Structure 1
C-alpha cells in the first residue's frame, strides 16, 4: 500500500510541475487581456512602448514580408488554379484558393513570422530583466511593470499580427484576381460575388478572433516564459527555448482548433 501512495504522490508532483507553468501562463494571459481594456493603461509612456513594438515587429519587415507573401501566394495560386482546371473544377478554384490561403495559411505564416521576429526577442528581454531583478526594482519604486512593460508589448504584438495579416491578405486577393481575370475589370462582379460567399460575417469574425489569439500567443507566452526564468544568467537561453516551444505548440493548437470548428 505504501508503494501505491508513493506512486500517486510522485505522479501528482509530476502533473503539478507540468501544468503549473500552463496555469500561470493562462492566468497572465487573462490579466493581460483584462488590462488591455483598462483606461489607466493608455498614457504617453505606454504609447511609446507600443509604437516601438509595432515599429520593430511590423513596420521594419513590412516590405520584405509582403514580398515573401506575394511570392508564396503567386506560386500556390498558380498551382491551385492549374490543378483545378485540369480536374474540371475551374469554377471552384478561386473559392478554394481564398479559403486556404487567406483564411488558413497566411494568418498562420504571419504569426510564425512575428514569433521569430519579435516573440524570441521579448522572451529574452523579459528573462534578462527577471534575472537581473529589474522587474523587482521597478516594483520597489512603485512602478507597475505589467502596465509599463508587459501590456504595451502585448498590444503591439496583437496589432502587428492583425496589420500584417490584413496587408498580405489583400496582396493575395489581388494576385488571385490577376491570375484568373488578368488586368481586365470584367471579372470584378464575379470576383466580388465569390468574396461575399467566402468572407461571410461569421467567417470574418472567426478570422479576426483567430488572428487576435495568434497575436496574444506570440506575446503572452514569451513574456510568461521569461518571468519563469530562475535568477541565474545561464537559464536565459533555456527560458527562450522553452517559451518558443510552447509558442509553436500554441499556434498549432489554435490553427487546428480553427480548422475543426470551421470544417467539422
Structure 2
C-alpha cells in the first residue's frame, strides 16, 4: 500500500513539475512576443523563412483539399438540411459548421502534421547536437532568435490559412448547390451573407490565433525536452504531437462550451 501511495505521489509531483515548466515557458514566450527588442533583423529573417515554409509552400495542396472538402462537406450539410426540412436555417448551418468549426480545426490538424512535426524534430536535433549550447555561448537569445519567429509564424499562418480555407470551401460549395438545388450565384451569396455574423468572424480569428500559438509552442517545448541521444528525437516528436493533438481538442471543446453555455 505504501509503495502505491509513493508511486502515485511521485507521478503527481512529476506531472506538476512538468506543468509548471510548460506554463513558465509559455509565459516567457508570450512576454517576449511583445518586447520590441525581440524583433531584431536576425529574428525577422527567420520569421519570413518560417512563414514561407508554414503557409506559402503548402498553398497548392491546401487549395486542392479546400475545394474537395468544400464540395463534399457542404454537400452533405445541404442534403441533411433538406432532408430534415431546415432549408430556412441552411445558411446559418453552413456558416456555423464551416467558419466556426471545420475550417479552424482542419487547418490546425494539417499544419500540425506538416510544420509542427518538422519544428519539433528541428529543435530536438539542435538540442541533441548541442547547437543550442553553442548559440548560448555566443550570447544568442534563443527565445527571440529561435522560438518567437516560429510561434508568430504559426499564429499568422494558421489564422490566414483558416480564413482562406473557409472562403474556398464556401465557394466550392456553390458547385453542389448549383446542381442539387439550382441556386444561382447571387442567391447563394445572399444566403451566406445573411447568415454570417460578427461573432462567427471573431470565433474564426480567435481559434486561428489559439491553434497557431499551440501548433508551434508545444513542438518547441517538446523538442527542448529531448535527451542527448539521437534515439530521443523520435520520442520527442511523438510526445510533442500527442500533446499538441490533446491541446487542439481541448481548445475545440472549450470553444464549444463558450459558444453554447
Fold conserved between structures, TM > 0.5: yes
TM-fit CA distance, 1:186? 4.7
RMSD: 1.8
1:72 pairs with 2:73: no
Give matches, 1:23-34, under 5 Å: 23-34=20-31
- Give a deviation string over 1:185-225, Cα, whole Å, max 9, x none: 35544432212xxx22x443333222111011110000000
In structure 1, distance between residues paired with 2:65 and 2:31: 35
In structure 1, distance between residues paired with 2:75 and 2:191: 19
Specify which of 122, 125, 144 is matched with residue 125 of structure 1: 122
In structure 1, distance between residues paired with 2:129 and 2:148: 20
1:193 pairs with 2:190: no
> How many residues matched?
257
Report what 1:241 is aligned to.
238
TM-score by length of 2: 0.91
Give matches, 1:132-171, under 5 Å: 132-171=129-168
Report what 1:82 is aligned to.
79
Note if contact 1:123-1:225 (Cα within 8 Å) is conserved in structure 2: yes
User: Runs of 4 or more off by more than 6 Å in structure 1?
Assistant: none
TM-score by length of 1: 0.90
Note if contact 2:96-2:200 (Cα within 8 Å) is conserved in structure 1: no
The unaligned stretches of length 5 or more in structure 2 are: none
- Give a deviation string over 1:62-107, Cα, whole Å, max 9, x none: 1211210121111111111122112221111221111012210111
Report what 2:227 is aligned to.
230
Note if contact 2:71-2:172 (Cα within 8 Å) is conserved in structure 1: yes
TM-fit CA distance, 1:23? 2.5
In structure 2, distance between residues paired with 1:244 and 1:179: 35
